């Protein structure tokens, strides 16, 4: 938990363009922010001019309207420039989102009064070293997934910790997750739930075959290398983004990012467990923080 530096004044309101009424609600949010004495720029999450203004640090805070997928996309925009993020859920599941659709009118006065806290979420940096050439590094909020491609056959992956072999898997894939990502694909694969503000790396195999089937939790200072050994297609995907193809011998290096994602919270720190229980009781079989939702 970190204290906020003061009330935000210049706010970007970013809406998911494919959600019905999102822009209308976003305009209402912007109007209320202005009525409370702030300034607000409202637009689509994919509006290039608005995105460039966020990247140029022209805003004190970003409000994202959508679901968890919207939060991930907005988080990738905010974290590199240290801009805090507040979510209003108008999508489906909103485990990462702070406010429900019917709550924002109640909480916006508190936002502009500075009555909130920041929650610092650890991120990862992933570098793919592949036969086709080294890829640009990826910023990771949820997880890095190295998995089989279109063929329904397991792949062999080796995990190295700080350059030293620790474990090999024959599995559908291997997830390297942040604590935030522990409630995403890793949870669906049977992994543990990590509190959001701790700084550990989670390794979780997916459908391992005659291999270690337990999650491994690593310290913040660890560097993990995932090396692929396969005679057929494998892929790597970061936070649900389109996959990059891998061949045998390719590897992905993952370490803790120097940046963190700052998320605005009005609730007390125990909110995480209350929300988790609510979602799990609602439908315990649903992956509650997915990479591909709105």
Q: How confident is the model at residue 133 (pLDDT cuts 50, 70, 90)?
A: confident
Domains by residue range for the chain, with CATH: 2-116+266-282 (3.40.50.10330), 123-259 (2.60.200.30)
265-270: average pLDDT: 83
Q: How confident is the model at residue 47 (pLDDT cuts 50, 70, 90)?
A: very high
**Alpha carbon separation from 75 to 4, 55, 259 (Å, rounded):** 18, 12, 11
Residue 203 in this model has a pLDDT that exceeds 90: yes
pLDDT on residue 293:
44
14-22: average pLDDT: 92
pLDDT on residue 213:
86
Q: Which long-range contacts (CB under 8 A, 24 or more apart) does 195-198 make?
A: 195/272, 196/119, 196/121, 196/272, 197/1, 197/119, 197/120, 197/121, 197/269, 198/122
pLDDT on residue 94:
73
Q: Which residue has the tokens 């959001």?
A: 196
pLDDT on residue 288:
44
Q: How confident is the model at residue 281 (pLDDT cuts 50, 70, 90)?
A: low
CA atoms of 84 and 202, how far apart (whole Å)? 25
CA atoms of 203 and 251, how far apart (whole Å)? 15
140-180: pLDDT as tens digits: 999 999 999 888 899 999 999 999 999 999 999 999 999 99
pLDDT on residue 286:
46
Residue 274 in this model has a pLDDT that exceeds 80: no
Residue 280 in this model has a pLDDT that exceeds 70: no
Question: Within 10 Å of residue 147's Cβ, how many Cβ atoms?
Answer: 22
Average pLDDT in the chain = 90
Q: How confident is the model at residue 284 (pLDDT cuts 50, 70, 90)?
A: very low
pTM, entire model: 0.90
Q: Which residues are catalytic?
A: 68
Q: How confident is the model at residue 285 (pLDDT cuts 50, 70, 90)?
A: very low
CA atoms of 146 and 243, how far apart (whole Å)? 9
Q: Which residue has the tokens 């979510």?
A: 87
Tokens describing residue 223: 């560097």
Tokens describing residue 16: 């998911």
240-251: pLDDT as tens digits: 889 999 999 999
Residue 2 in this model has a pLDDT that exceeds 60: no
56-74: pLDDT as tens digits: 999 999 999 999 999 999 9
pLDDT on residue 283:
55
pLDDT on residue 279:
63
Is the model more confident about 232 or about 281?
232
């Amino acid at each position: 938990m970190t204290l906020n530096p003061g009330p935000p004044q210049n706010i970007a309101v970013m809406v998911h363009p494919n959600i019905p009424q999102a822009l209308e609600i976003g305009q209402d949010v912007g109007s209320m922010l202005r009525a409370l004495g702030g300034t607000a720029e409202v637009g689509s999450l994919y509006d290039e001019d608005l995105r460039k203004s966020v990247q140029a640090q022209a805003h004190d805070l970003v409000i994202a309207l959508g679901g968890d997928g919207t939060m991930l996309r907005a988080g990738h925009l905010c974290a590199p420039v240290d801009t805090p993020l507040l979510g209003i859920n108008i999508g489906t599941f909103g485990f990462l989102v702070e406010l429900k659709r019917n709550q924002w009118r109640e909480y916006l006065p508190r936002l502009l009064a500075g009555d909130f806290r920041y929650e610092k979420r650890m991120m990862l940096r992933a570098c793919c070293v592949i036969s086709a050439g080294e890829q640009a590094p990826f910023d990771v909020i949820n997880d890095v997934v190295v998995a089989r491609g279109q063929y329904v056959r397991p792949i062999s992956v080796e995990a190295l910790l700080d350059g030293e072999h620790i474990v090999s898997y024959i599995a559908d894939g291997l997830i390297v997750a942040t604590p935030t990502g522990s409630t995403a694909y890793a949870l669906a694969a049977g992994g543990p739930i990590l509190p959001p503000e701790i700084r550990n790396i989670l390794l979780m195999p997916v459908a391992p075959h005659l291999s270690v089937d337990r999650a491994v939790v690593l310290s913040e200072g660890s560097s993990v290398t995932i090396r692929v050994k396969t005679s057929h297609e494998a892929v790597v995907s970061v936070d649900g983004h389109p996959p990059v193809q891998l061949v045998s011998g390719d590897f992905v290096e993952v370490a803790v990012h120097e940046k963190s994602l700052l998320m605005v919270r009005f609730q007390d720190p125990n909110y995480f467990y209350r929300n988790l229980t609510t979602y799990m009781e609602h439908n315990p079989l649903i992956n509650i923080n997915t990479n591909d939702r709105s």
